[in-house]
Structure 1
Amino acid sequence: MDRATVSVVQFESSLGPADDGTRERMADAITAADADLVVFPELATTGYHVFEDLPDVAESVPGPTTERLGEAAAAADTAVLFGMPVREDSRVYNSAVWLDADGEVRTRYDKRHCWGGERDCFATGDEYAVVEAPFGRVGVQICYDLNFPAASAALARAGCDVLVNISAWTARMERDWHTLLPARALEQGAYVVGCNQAGTEAGRTFCGRSGVYEPDGTRIAALGDSPGQLSVPLEPAVAAAERRRNPMREDRPATDADASER
């Protein structure tokens, strides 16, 4: 792992297609960031509660949104990770899309663990994802994936330096958010970045509280419940020291599926 700066955008999406102004607000946030990676929440391009409108708001990848945000990524010379509904053939996925710093699509991760009503609307993915970024290996998760230790274990075995969870976590479940993020950092021996939605949609309020955790579970930066953006340096010496202190990633048995590199 090399030193890197991550910019976490706690975004308040508007419900509807990405071309309703959301895409441009995201591009502005990318351009304003001075970072190696800019992260947006789950379904950032459309808002979360778009289940009934998925046929109208889902896009292909590559497509108009990846093209516009790719332009912003290339202009800022930064990688970007964001959530969007992706149409592929007759299916729609709740996906995280990674754009490299040249603006090109590197990969897409499709959410493996759908929550509640998502199961009626989204197809589920069947692979874990690890991106080989210039600064290190980044594992990608979406929201409810955070609850499943096996997913974290698979990413730990893949040698992730950073785990990023993009989310639409609600205020009703806020306690779980604060519990699970540091737990995943500790069992990973890796930095954990939690990037959450802000605001209220369809009568439900997101808790915000995006944060960055060191590999021992210490929270080093956090936002409140309003939209905002913060940039945090990730230090390789911190990760190396924690892995010496706690060698659990070396001692973990290989009992779960491997994560694929992208």
Structure 2
Amino acid sequence: MKRCTISIVQFESTLGPAADGTLDRMAETIAAADADLVVFPELATTGYHVFDEVLEVAEPVPGPTTEVLGAAAADAGTEVLFGMPARDGDDVYNCAVWIDADGDVRARYDKRHLWGDEATAYSAGDSYAVVDAPFGRVGIQICYDLNFPAASAALARAECDIVINISAWSVRMERDWHTLLPARAVEQGAYVIGCNRAGTEAGTTFCGHSTMIEPDGTTVVEMGAGAGQVAVTLDPGVVAAERARNPMRTDRPETDVDATRYDSSRSSDCSKPI
């Protein structure tokens, strides 16, 4: 890993097609950022509540949206990560797209764990995504993925230096956001960045509080509830020191054993599993 600066954009999307002015605002934000990577939240290009019109607003990747944001990334000389609905044949995915500093699509991650009504609009992805960026290895998650330790463990096995979760996390679930981000950092032995939505959309208020957490679970940067942008600097020395202090990565087995079940009502002999 190399020292790098990441710009976290706590974005308030406009609900509807990306070309309704949202892409222009995103491009302006990229141009203004002095960073190695600019990160936008889940479904930043269209807004979150596009379930009824997802077929109309979804686009192929590469496509018109990645062309516009790719040009902005190339002009600024920065990498960009953002969420959008992606059309792939007859399927639509809630996806994260990584564009490199040359403006090319480098990676696409399709959300694996769909929350609530998302399952009626999107197909689930079938693999996790890791990007070997110029400054380090980055694991990508989307929102509800954060709840699943197995998803974090997969990225840890891939030896990620940084894990980024782009999200549309609501106020109703805010306590979980503050609990899970530091837990995932400790599990990873890596920096964890949570980039969340701001504002209210279709009756849902997003909690904001985009966050950067060090590998020992310490919160270094936390935004408020409103839209905004903050630059954070990541130091490889912090990662190395934490992995020396807590050798979880070295000690974690490639695969874990299944739990053995016991029924205390059936036998007093604890050596007899069910």
**TM interval, short-chain normalised:** over 0.9
Cα distance in 2 for partners of 1:133, 1:74 equals 15
Please tell me the residue identity of whatever aligns with 1:198.
A
Amino acid at match of 1:117: D
Counterpart Cα distance in 2 of 1:166 and 1:91: 21
Q: Which residue of 2 aligns with 1:259?
A: none
Displacement of 1:173 in angstroms is: 0.2
Query: For 1:27-106, what aligned pairs fall within 5 Å after superposition?
Result: 27-106=27-106
TM-superposed CA distance for 1:249, in Å, is 1.1
- For residue 82 of structure 1, report the CA deviation from its aligned partner: 0.2
| Residue 165 (str. 1) matches residue 170 (str. 2) | no
SS of residue matched to 1:116: coil
- The residue matched to 2:117 in structure 1 has which SS? helix
SS in 2 for 1:194: strand
The residue number in structure 2 matching 1:204 is 204
Q: Quick one: distance in 2 between partners of 1:84 and 1:250? A: 35
Q: Using the alignment, how far apart are the partners of 1:249 and 1:171 within structure 2?
A: 33
Over residues 147-167 of structure 1, what are the superposed CA-to-partner deviations in whole Å (9 max), with x where a residue is unaligned?
A: 000010010011100000000
Please state if 1:24 is matched with 2:24. Answer: yes
C-alpha distance in 2 between matches for 1:112 and 1:33: 30
Aligned position for 1:120: 120
Query: What's the CA shift string for 1:197-230, capped at 9, x where partnerless?
Result: 0000011100000010000011111110000000
Which position in structure 1 is the counterpart of 2:254?
A: 254
Per the TM alignment, residue 255 of structure 1 is displaced from its structure 2 partner at its CA by: 1.8
CA distance in 1, matches of 2:31, 2:222: 21
Is 1:186 aligned to residue 174 of structure 2?
Answer: no
1:148 counterpart residue number: 148
Q: How many angstroms does 1:250 deviate by? A: 1.1
The structure number with the bigger radius of gyration is 2
Which amino acid in the other structure matches residue 233 of structure 1? T
- Whichever residue aligns with residue 242 of structure 2, its letter is E
Q: Report the Cα offset of residue 7 of structure 1.
A: 0.3
Which string of whole-angstrom CA distances, capped at 9 and with x for unpartnered residues, describes residues 5-47 of structure 1? 0000000001000000000000011010000010000000000
Partner of 1:108: 108
What is the CA–CA distance in structure 1 between the aligned matches of 2:14 and 2:160, rounded to whole Å?
Answer: 33
TM-score (norm 2): 0.93
Q: Aligned partners of 1:209 and 1:149: how far apart in 2?
A: 22
Residues 62-91 of structure 1 deviation map (CA, whole Å, 9 limit, x = unaligned): 111100000010011100000000000000
> Which fold has the larger relative contact order, with Cα–Cα distance below 8 Å and residues 6 or more apart in sequence?
1
Letter in 1 for 2:203: G
- Whether 2:213 is the aligned partner of 1:213: answer yes
CA distance in 1, matches of 2:133, 2:205: 33
Task: Render the CA deviation track for 1:177-212: whole Å, top value 9, x for unaligned.
Answer: 000000000110000010000000011100000010
Counterparts of 1:76 and 1:45 in 2: how far apart (Å)?
19
Q: In structure 2, how many angstroms separate the alpha carbons of the residues matched to 1:138 and 1:78?
A: 15
Identity among equivalent pairs (%): 71
Please give the root-mean-square deviation of Cα atoms over the aligned residues, in Å.
Answer: 0.6
TM-score, normalised by the number of residues in structure 1: 0.97
Letter in 2 for 1:79: E
- In 2, Cα distance between equivalents of 1:209 and 1:162: 19
Where 1:95 maps in the other structure, the secondary structure is strand
Deviation >6 Å, runs of 4+? none
Q: For residues 111-142 of structure 1, give each alpha carbon's deviation from its aligned partner in whole angstroms, at most 9, with x where no partner exists.
A: 00000010111000000110000000000000
What residue is the counterpart of 1:260 in the other structure?
A: none
Structure 1 residue runs of 5 or longer lacking an equivalent are: 257-262
Unaligned runs of at least 5 residues, structure 2: 257-274
Structure 2 equivalent of residue 228 of structure 1: 228
Higher mean displacement: 123-132 or 247-256: 247-256
